[in-house]
Structure 1
Amino acid sequence: MNLKKTAAALLAAVMAVSFTACASKNISWIATNNGEQVPAGIYLDYMVNAYYEAASKTEKQGKDVLKEQIDGVSGSAWIQNKTDEDFKKYIAVTNKAAEEGMALTDEEIAQIDAQVYYQWQMMGGLFEQNGVSYESFLAVSHNDYLLNKAFENEYGTNGKNPVSDADLLKAFQENYFRVRTITMSLNNTDGTAKDEAAQQKVMDKANEILGKVNSDGSNYLDVILEYEKEQAASRGEDASTVHEHTETSHVSYMQKGNINYTQEMMDAIETMGNNEVKVLTSNSMVYVLQKLDISSTTAEDMSPYRTGVLQMLKGDEFDATIQSWADATTVDYNAEAKNFYKPEKLKLTVKRSSSES
């Protein structure tokens, strides 16, 4: 289930899209729903995201994306179809929430608004230059949250079809690694790659740590503590202030197949034995990683990952439910606006949000 904007991960392309000036005042709204006009900015929000999702499926940029074949159709048709599909789901979720009396609480609205305000500072220029106002951007985010809320209402602890903690824990143990790591970077603080000598120094340090565990038989937690004190001293800090360690210190969980790590690293962890330590690399990061026994984890350990595990188990099923809501929904489009807002009108521009100084 994909409930997040795809554009955020692709902003580094230093590229944005811009519609030409509006042809008439009638295109400020894209459709009517229950007698109310839906702002065109909501539709355009989905179009911007569809564009970047299409770009991620190709090796092209700009208008070249529109000419590429994506899933058997032109990039332009794919973007248009995706926009229509997502907008229809927006209407369907809005109506379903009203039908079931599902509304956001004041606390939820405040939380969402705070998050959206931060996102707007980063991405506002991208969306604003495409006719997406802050209010429309916010409305889409509220709808996304309603969708998450509907999911919890269906499968959550107090939902209509709850998934038991036992089933969730089983899925967690089968689909996550339990690890303990020291992480180092092969990049400088500005994101550029360190020179060859500096990178070798990082690798030497990682292998030195590995040697202490494998050759000296040291406890890995003790080795981590020693490393942390060493790092603190290098920063001119009092090494004695480094936190004390317990058996749960530095324990984290990595989902199998996580796209933030290379498949080679995931495969290597899969073959490791419990308590084994290895030096692994993924992209620009180096990990001195110890694999731990995940079978001893509890529902409390899983708690921070509960939503992700639940989505892993029920995401596809819920997507089908949302699709059924959309299939039963008819969108009453404003024909003039619908005909105007086409992917072909996208242009390459670089502009700043009016909210930026």
Structure 2
Amino acid sequence: MTFGLLLSATCVCAQEVAPDNVEAEGPIIEAATRFKPRPKFLVYETELLRDFTVIPTSAIVGDAQANVSQNLIREGKLKFPMVLKERTKIIGGLGYRHEQFKFSEQSDEVYPLFTRFDDKSLKRLSFSAYMQQILKEKKFVYIYFNSSLNSDRPGSENINYQLKWSVAGIYGKQRGPHKQLGFGASFGYDFGQPAAYPVLMFNNDFSLHWGYELLLPKSAKLRYSPNLSNHFIGALELQGASYSLQDSLFSGFDLLEFRRSSVRALLTYERELHDWLWFGVTAGYRFPINLFISEPGDRRADALMKIDADPTPYLSFSIFLVPPNKMYNRAKGSG
């Protein structure tokens, strides 16, 4: 598929749900869609957290304390169309995430956690699929699926422990051209351990410049767009993950699992550099909720080591590609 066709397909997949019998609410409300951010299909992001203190405790190796002088995260994402039909659209995605730690001021320089993670990395290789199915009477179904290899050494060895997956489904109704309400369920690692929980979705672009997106309890976002070229987004997000550790910390354990979850409060600014080229900067604060190391197995919650980490600010920078504006508007039928 050529570059231009890929852009066109991405535009079509990203347009808003437009079920039967949804009428426009006038020229001002109709124009509000022009101030929403266009979908991203290629993203590179770098995130750096400020120094913070960690205090691991373990009945096996004892307790310690250290300063995390560097927690650097690099991430790349690619989205592409898989199915493009009038009522059914499926978007695929590939992702790579690389996270690295550096410690200083260790109370014990040979403590297993510090020697194991210092200047080493956790990696994630992922595939995702997102389906949008439009039904009759202004109703719709969203389904999201993600599978990934999460490990310090992703590969075929012990792949059953490295493979993590999450899924979510939402059934909803279009309440107007720019308002959606839905409910469903989600399964994943947002709490560090695998868990299923109900979700409520409510999206509303309530004016030309303002809108919000709620996917509770996972995220809440408020957007202000003064014009086509600038977007401000404030958000609260629940994030979690689980990684298989191939190189064990403790003798007698060949494999271990590193689990974590946190709440993030953040403010993002996105700016157009060129029609299809944008950059973003995010300032936020991370509040750890759950951080521990256990034996492998999704149902295990017995911590071999618990880790207390201070809340810490972070800063991230991203550069990304979006569909050209004229192509995006044509795909939505408004250009």
Fold-level match, TM-score > 0.5? no
* Structure ranking higher in helix proportion: 1
Give the TM bin, normalised by the shorter chain: under 0.3
TM-score (norm 2): 0.22
TM-score (norm 1): 0.21
Q: Which has the larger radius of gyration?
A: 1
